Amino acid sequence: MALSRKVGFFTGLRYKGGGPMIAWMLHRFTGVGMAVFIGLHVLASFFTQQTGSDLGISINIIYQNLYFQLFIYFCVLFHGLNGMRIIILDVWPRMIEYQREMIWLTWLIFIPVYGLAAFIMVYLEITGA
């Protein structure tokens, strides 16, 4: 039985869930984002391969754009690392006690791994190397 929620969108935003809420929201957002973009990418590749259509090519050109790559890399890496945190919490339920620390750990791993690759990609783009 689903809960009936009489809470509006903006009221919901004021809920102070902190780190776990942000992780949950980002996990959902990045997951749907990946599903949409990978679905479009598969369709675009199919049409490019079968008909050589301009539509498929123009969609795939967007995907090769630096900013889009930075965005999709954020989606994949955050969804992956946060998913790993969820797996660990599900396999060892006692870790729930430290779940806030685990969210900090997720960000602690995410920021350098994302930042390094993003820095190199932007650096190569700017210097044109």
Please state, as a whole number, how many other Cβ atoms lie within 10 Å of the Cβ of residue 81.
19
- Angle 75-76-81 from CA coordinates, rounded to 5°: 105
Query: What is the C-alpha to C-alpha distance for residues 100 and 55, in angstroms, rounded to an integer?
Result: 45
- Residues 77-96, interacting with another protein (CB under 8 A): 80, 83-84, 86-87, 90-91
Q: Which stretch binds another protein (CB under 8 A): 17-25, 93-101, 102-110, 114-122?
A: 114-122
Contact status: 57 vs another protein (CB under 8 A): no
Residue 27 corresponds to which tokens in the numbers above?
């996990």
Query: What is the C-alpha to C-alpha distance for residues 23 and 89, in angstroms, rounded to an integer?
Result: 14
CA nearest neighbour of 30 among 41, 22, 42? 22
Shortest separation between residue 53's beta carbon and another protein, angstroms: 14
Shortest separation between residue 39's beta carbon and another protein, angstroms: 6
Contact status: 61 vs another protein (CB under 8 A): no
Contacts by residues 36-45 (CB-CB < 8 Å, ≥ 24 positions apart)? 37/63, 37/72, 37/75
Contact status: 12 vs another protein (CB under 8 A): no
Q: Which stretch binds another protein (CB under 8 A): 11-19, 73-81, 97-105?
A: 73-81
Residue ranges that bind another protein, judged by CB under 8 A: 2, 4, 28, 31-32, 34-35, 38-39, 42-43, 45-46, 49, 64, 66, 69, 73, 76, 80, 83-84, 86-87, 90-91, 117, 120-121, 124
